[in-house]
Structure 1
Amino acid sequence: MSDKEIYVRRLGDNALILGQRLSEWCGKGPAIEEDMALTNVALDLIGQARLWLSYAAELGEADSSEDSLAFLRDAHQFGNFLLVELPNGRYADTLIRQFFYDVWHYYLLDELTKSSDPRIAEISCKSVKEVTYHVRRSSDLVIRLGDGTPLSREMMQKAIDRLWAYTGEMFSNDPIDQAMAQQGVAPLPNALQDSWLQHVQETMAEATLQIPPKDTWMHSGGRQGRHTEHLGYLLAEMQFLQRAYPGATW
C-alpha cells in the first residue's frame, strides 16, 4: 500500500466515521432545526468520504472500491482519529467534538487545495465550501451555549474537559505525513496547530469557556489502527448489511 493511499484513506475514514456518528442523532436532536442541521452535516461528511475512499480505491488494489473500503475492513484497518469514533454522549459532547474537528478540517482542506496531487486539490476545493459552513455553525453554537445559561455553560465546559485530550492526535506527525509533505501533497499536521488553536481560543473567550493547559496528556493511535472499543460497535452496525448479505445492492 502506498503512502498516498494510506493518507487518502485516513481522510475518508475521518469523514465516514464522524458522519456515521452524527447520523445517530437523526430524529433525536434537541430541536428540529438542530436535528436537520446535524443530519445535513452528516450527509456532507459521508459525501466527502465517498470522494476520498473512491480515490483511495483507485490508488489501491484493482478489486477495491469505496464500498469495500467502508464495509469490509476491520477496526484495525481504519485510520481515523479517536475523537470522531467516540460516542455522541450529550449534545454538548457532540457539539464540542464537532467544533474541534470542524476547525481542524477547515484549515487542512484549505491547505490541500494547493496539493501537488490534482485529485486531492479538486476534492478539497469542493469540500472546503461545505466545511466553511460547518465551522461557522459549530462556532456560533459554542458561543451561544457557552455564554448562555449557567447549566448550558457547565455542560459545555465539562464536554471540553472530557474531549480536549483527544485533540492532540490531529497535530501529530508520522512517517506518512512526512512523506506527503515532502512530495507537496499535504501539509504536516503540526503546521496547522497554531491556526487551529487561535480560532479555538478566540471562540472560547467569546463563549466564556476555558481550555485545558497546553501540557495536557493526549491520546493517540487511531491513525495507526489502534482504536477504542467504540469503533468496533460502530462498525458492527454500519457494516451489518454488507457482511450479512455480501454483494447486496439497492
Structure 2
Amino acid sequence: MFFKKTSSLEVEETDTRSGKDAIWMITSILFTFLLGGFVFWKSMNAGIQYLTTLVPLLLVIAFSGTYFYNRSADMRMFAAFTGLAAIGIALQVIIDAQYQVISQFSMVKYFAGLAIAIVLILMYRLIRKALNFNYTTYFLLVVAACLYIALLFFGKDTNGYGTTAWIKIGPVSLQLTDFAKITAILFYSSLFSARKTYSNRSILILSSIFFIVNFIGSVLIHELGSFYILYFLHLSMLYI
C-alpha cells in the first residue's frame, strides 16, 4: 500500500522515521538535477529542453511530495515514481534531439482525449466496482485475446516497420496494442482485488494464461515492443 496506517502506538516510531522519509524526498529532487547534467553531457539541445521541463517537474515533486509526506506515505515508493518520471523525460528529450520529430497538433484529438479523461474519472467508482466481480477477470482475458485476433485479421502496418498494431475505422486509425496495455492494468487490478479470494495457485494460473495470450498475440502481429512492457508489468505484479 502507498499510504501507511498509523496508530497511537506508532507515533514515536513515525517521528523517528520522518527524517528518513524527508531524505527520500530530497533525494528525488537531487536526482532530477543530476539527471539534467547527464542530459547536457549527451546533448546541449536536449539539456535546454530538459531545463524547460525541470521547473514544473520540481514543483510537482515538491507539492505532491509534501502531500504524501504529511500523510505518512511510503516515500521510497514516491522517490521511485519521481525518478522513473524524470528518466522518461530525459530519454524523450535526448531522442527528440537525435531524430527529427514530425508532429501535428489537432484540436479534435486534444478535446477527444480531454473528454475521455473526464469520462474515465467520473466512471472511476463504477469501474472499481466492476473489477470486484469474479467474472470481470475472465472477461478481460477474453478482451485481450479479441484485441490480438482483430489485429491479426484486420491490422494495418501504418509505419512500414512490419508491425500490424493499427486498425482503421473509417478515417480514424487506432493502435489497439495501447488498449491491450489498459486491459492488462484492469486485468491485474481485478485479479488482485481485495474483495476476491483467489488462491495463490489460481492467481498464478490466470496470470500465466493472460501472459501467454499477450505473448502469442504480440508475436503474431510482430509487436514485441508492447509485449516487453506487459512482461515487466506481469513480473512486478507477481513478485512486487
TM bucket by the smaller chain?
Answer: under 0.3
Tell me: higher relative CO, structure 1 or 2? Use CA pairs within 8 A at least 6 residues apart.
Answer: 1
What TM-score results when the alignment is normalised by the length of structure 2? 0.24
Q: Which structure is higher in helix share?
A: 2
